[in-house]
């Protein structure tokens, strides 16, 4: 009976969240666009989305490996639930839900599992900056770009790269010295109640242990390399959905009003899509 009540409660919650998510949508307009969309591109987009979930789960399992054994189906299911929550719930609750589910079902410390989410974000930052650099300096014709546009890109990429390196170094330090981090936090018992300081020290130790993959070059490099096909798939699914729904055909008036073309500026992605569709 308890299982039935729990299933009913979860189902009602899912329906309520779906209703809240669609509260401002014009369902008739959505259905009209779905009916006129390119089915083949929608199927391709669905394949890209499915592939991203598989890659995310595989990469996350590599990051969780040094913490403890995990089952792929648990990691995959937790990832799907977490990213669904990110789309519906505020305050990025899904980033807390993912490690909670894995920790609960596979017996890992929650704070260690949460640390792998932080590491995922750093790997994503490195992959996105690298792909942007490959495009800008490898494929784009920057000679026609206005320097006022190119210079900020170079500076932002350089700053982002330095931040990524600093974060990687910090994660390596945390992973290499979790006991020292715990003792450092314990020293706060001079200003905090001793039970509170001890508890914070324990949390700091388990959180630091979550970056253990940073001490294993092979596993870390493997997870980093998987970040590149992941973001290529994300870009591919965005392109496929945009082309399938012909959303770019509705951009000219808004685009011309808000971002008129300027000589020497690179074409915006929406203009590239307009040229392809038109």
Tens-place pLDDT, residues 145-177 = 887 888 888 888 889 989 999 999 999 999 999
Asked if 120 contacts 164 with a C-beta cutoff of 8 angstroms, the reply is no
C-alpha 116/C-alpha 59 separation (Å) is 10
Assigned domain for 8 exists? no
Report whether pLDDT(120) > 80: yes
C-alpha distances (whole Å) from 265 to each of 116, 255, 261 are 39, 14, 7
pLDDT surpassing 60 at residue 260: no
Check whether 265 has a pLDDT greater than 50: no
The mean-pLDDT minimum among 126-135, 149-158, 242-251 falls in: 242-251
Does some domain include residue 142? yes
Residue 264 domain-assigned (yes or no): no
User: What are the residue ranges of helices labelled H in the chain?
Assistant: 2-21, 27-36, 39-64, 72-88, 94-106, 110-138, 147-176, 178-186, 194-209, 217-244, 252-258, 269-277
Between CA 258 and CA 22 the distance in angstroms is 28
Tell me whether residue 263 is in a domain: no
pLDDT at 3: 65
The 3-state DSSP class for residue 276 equals helix
270-275-277 Cα angle (round to 5): 90
Q: How confident is the model at residue 259 (pLDDT cuts 50, 70, 90)?
A: very low
The verdict on residue 20 lying in a domain is no
Domain that holds residue 41: 36-241
Domain contains 25: no
Q: Is 70 exposed, middle or buried (0-12, 13-18, 19+ CB in 10 A)?
A: buried
Residue 23 domain flag: no
Question: Does any domain span residue 267?
Answer: no
Residue 188, pLDDT above cutoff 80? yes
Count of domains for the chain:
1
Q: Distance between CA 60 and CA 76 in Å, rounded?
A: 9
pTM score: 0.80
Write the CA distances from 90 to 20, 93, 138, integer angstroms: 12, 6, 38
């Amino acid at each position: 009976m308890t299982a039935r009540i729990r299933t009913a409660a979860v189902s009602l919650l899912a329906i309520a969240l779906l209703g809240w998510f669609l509260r401002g949508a014009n369902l008739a307009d959505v259905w009209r666009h779905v009916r006129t969309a390119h089915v083949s591109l929608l199927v391709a987009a669905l394949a890209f989305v499915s592939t991203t979930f598989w890659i995310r789960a595989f990469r996350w399992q590599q990051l969780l490996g040094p913490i403890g054994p995990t089952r792929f189906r648990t990691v995959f299911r937790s990832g799907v639930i977490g990213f669904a929550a990110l789309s519906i719930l505020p305050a990025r609750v899904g980033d807390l839900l993912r490690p909670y589910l894995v920790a609960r079902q596979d017996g890992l410390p929650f704070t260690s599992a949460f640390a792998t989410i932080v590491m995922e974000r750093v790997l994503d930052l490195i992959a996105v900056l690298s792909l942007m650099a490959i495009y800008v300096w490898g494929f784009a014709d920057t000679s026609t770009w206005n320097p006022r546009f190119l210079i900020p890109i170079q500076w932002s990429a350089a700053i982002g790269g330095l931040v990524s390196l600093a974060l990687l170094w910090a994660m390596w330090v945390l992973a290499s010295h979790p006991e020292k981090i715990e003792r450092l936090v314990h020293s706060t018992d001079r200003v905090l109640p001793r039970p509170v300081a001890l508890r914070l020290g324990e949390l700091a130790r388990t959180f630091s242990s979550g970056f253990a993959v940073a001490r294993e070059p092979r596993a870390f490099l493997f997870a980093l390399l998987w970040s590149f096909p992941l973001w290529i798939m994300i870009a591919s699914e965005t392109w496929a959905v945009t082309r399938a729904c012909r959303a770019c055909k509705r951009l000219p008036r808004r685009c011309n009003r808000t971002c008129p073309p300027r000589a020497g500026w690179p074409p915006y992605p929406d203009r590239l899509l307009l040229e392809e569709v038109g």
